[in-house]
């Protein structure tokens, strides 16, 4: 199996499992109640994946790790703010965010994996970690 196919299968499976986990945790009704959280998570996932794989800022590894840390902290703060500002419980917010991330990853990998080729930087990263 070539590297591009392996990337598409791995991330497609990962996205599908994230969506399934979000649905299992709160059901479809819970996801409908927080559809906007899922949409925001999907858009953010696509933006982060595109920025990282196309190296828009030209950052080295340390800056990328710092940005990832800031992103995780910002996501945790956003979950808390949404739970406080709305009548949604934390589990619903997290599950909707997870399902949205899965949907965003599936859409991104469909465009850059099926419709268009997987970016070279992602293929190089997959080759470095190959067993």
Low-confidence ranges of the chain (pLDDT < 50): none
pLDDT reported for residue 1: 74
Give the model's pLDDT for residue 3: 87
pLDDT score for 130 = 61
Report pTM: 0.88
pLDDT tens digits, 81-97? 999 999 999 999 999 99
Three-state SS across the chain?
CCHHHHHHHHHHHHHHHHHHHHHHHHHHHHHHHCHHHHHHHHHHHHHHHHHHHCCCCCCCHHHHHHHHHHHHHHHHHHHHHHHHHCCCCHHHHHHHHHHHHHHHHHHHHHHECCCECCCHHHHHHHHHCCC
What's the pLDDT at 126? 83
């Amino acid at each position: 199996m070539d590297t591009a196919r392996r990337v598409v299968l791995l991330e497609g499976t990962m996205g599908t499992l994230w969506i399934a986990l979000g649905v299992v945790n709160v059901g479809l009704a819970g996801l409908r109640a927080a559809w906007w959280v899922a949409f925001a998570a999907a858009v953010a996932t696509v933006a982060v994946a595109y920025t990282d794989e196309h190296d828009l800022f030209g950052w080295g590894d340390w800056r990328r790790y710092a940005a990832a840390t800031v992103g995780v902290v910002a996501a945790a703060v956003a979950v808390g703010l949404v739970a406080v500002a709305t009548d949604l419980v934390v589990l619903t917010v997290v599950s909707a965010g997870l399902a949205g991330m899965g949907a965003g990853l599936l859409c991104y990998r469909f465009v850059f994996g099926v419709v268009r080729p997987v970016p070279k930087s992602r293929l190089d990263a997959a080759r470095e970690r190959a067993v």
